[in-house]
Amino acid sequence: MNTALVSSPCFCFKESKRLEQIRGFKRTELCARAEKRNNGSNIVGEEDKKIRRRNALISGFLMASSLSLLGCTGEALAVKQGLLAGRIPGLSDPDERGFRTYRRPEDKSGGHGVGWSPIIPYSFKVPDGWEEVPVSIADLGGTEIDLRFASPKEGRLFVIVAPVRRFAELDDATIEQIGPPERVIDAFGPEVVGENVEGKVSSMETAEHSGRMYYQFEIESPHALITATAAGNRLYLFNVTGSGLQWKKHYKDLKEIAKSFRVV
């Protein structure tokens, strides 16, 4: 009685993979070793040398990387904020009303141009759920936009930090020195909202906090709440805006965000 021998599919697959490895990845090394044996020579071929050098380099790199990771502490792995551009966490935990305070880190760089002196930090409050949006020097709003925040439900905001010397010879400016509220909004409103604001300013107020004056404006169309002040050699323009529906549903929160802006 003849017995048919059937190879196991698993065995065939493994054997195929083994042959592929031998024929493909190890062919050069096997040939070099075979030549060495056949010739009875102690000289290692150039290909064999290259393989050994490559394997030694890879092994050394992996070992060094592993030791480096094992030896690092959390503090050593942390990245110093001053070396990062763009997004750096600056939000506090929510208060009892659900608002979080953002304070600009002193070492943070922003979307403004290269060569600026350090920016005096500022702060503001946003409801929980607002997040920082990355800013780059290619931002369509201009290189003077230092920060953006947004909430999918409530609206968005941005901060413009402009050099005072662009329009006045002042080194330690106040907003009053730059001009009265009417002049400031006429000059800088179009830069903030992207169009002429003449006849669109529905309210204009002033407020003083810790000896610094703030101008506060409300624009009817497009909806915007603008806070302006100055410190050092910078003019700060804080703009809070939203769609028509967001404005209608969240106006109270948007107004509180706008009034919370401070240069600290």
Q: Please state the rounded mean pLDDT for residues 210-236.
A: 96
Pairing of strands 212-219, 131-133: unpaired
Q: What is the pLDDT of residue 247?
A: 97
Note the pLDDT tens digit of each residue in 76-101.
333 333 334 444 468 999 999 999 99
Q: What gap in Å lies between CA 212 and CA 228, rounded to an integer?
A: 11
Q: Please state the rounded mean pLDDT for residues 220-236.
A: 95
Q: What is the pLDDT of residue 53?
A: 61
Sheet with 122-127: strands ordered across: 99-103, 122-127, 262-263
Q: What is the pLDDT of residue 226?
A: 98
Give helix 9-24 / helix 27-39 axis angle, nearest 10°: 70
Alpha helix locations (H) across 40-178?
46-71, 74-77, 175-178
Query: Are the beta carbons of 88 and 147 closer than 8 angstroms?
Result: no
Confidence of residue 200 (pLDDT cuts 50, 70, 90): very high
Q: What gap in Å lies between CA 146 and CA 23, rounded to an integer?
A: 59
Q: What are phi and psi of 55, to 5 degrees?
A: -65, -35
Q: Is the pLDDT of residue 185 over 70?
A: yes
Q: What is the pLDDT of residue 136?
A: 74
Give helix 27-39 / helix 46-71 axis angle, nearest 10°: 130
99's CB contacts (< 8 A; 6+ apart) are 125, 126, 127, 128, 256
Look at 62 and 188; give whichever has higher pLDDT.
Answer: 188
Note the pLDDT tens digit of each residue in 11-67.
344 444 444 454 444 444 544 554 544 454 444 455 555 556 655 555 554 444 443
DSSP code of 10? Answer: H
With 0-12 / 13-18 / 19 or more C-beta atoms within 10 angstroms meaning exposed / middle / buried, residue 49 is exposed
Look at 220 and 72; give whichever has higher pLDDT.
Answer: 220
Q: Please state the rounded mean pLDDT for residues 206-226.
A: 97
Q: Please state the rounded mean pLDDT for residues 99-120.
A: 74
Q: What is the pLDDT of residue 10?
A: 44
Confidence of residue 197 (pLDDT cuts 50, 70, 90): very high
Note the pLDDT tens digit of each residue in 132-182.
998 877 666 666 899 999 999 999 999 999 999 888 888 889 999 999 999
Q: Considering the chain, what is the average pLDDT of its residues?
A: 76
Q: 91 pairs with which residues across the strands?
A: 102
pTM: 0.66
The three-class DSSP label of residue 114 is coil
Q: What is the pLDDT of residue 54?
A: 57
Q: What is the pLDDT of residue 171?
A: 83
Sheet with 234-241: strands ordered across: 131-133, 145-151, 155-163, 234-241, 224-231, 212-219, 201-209
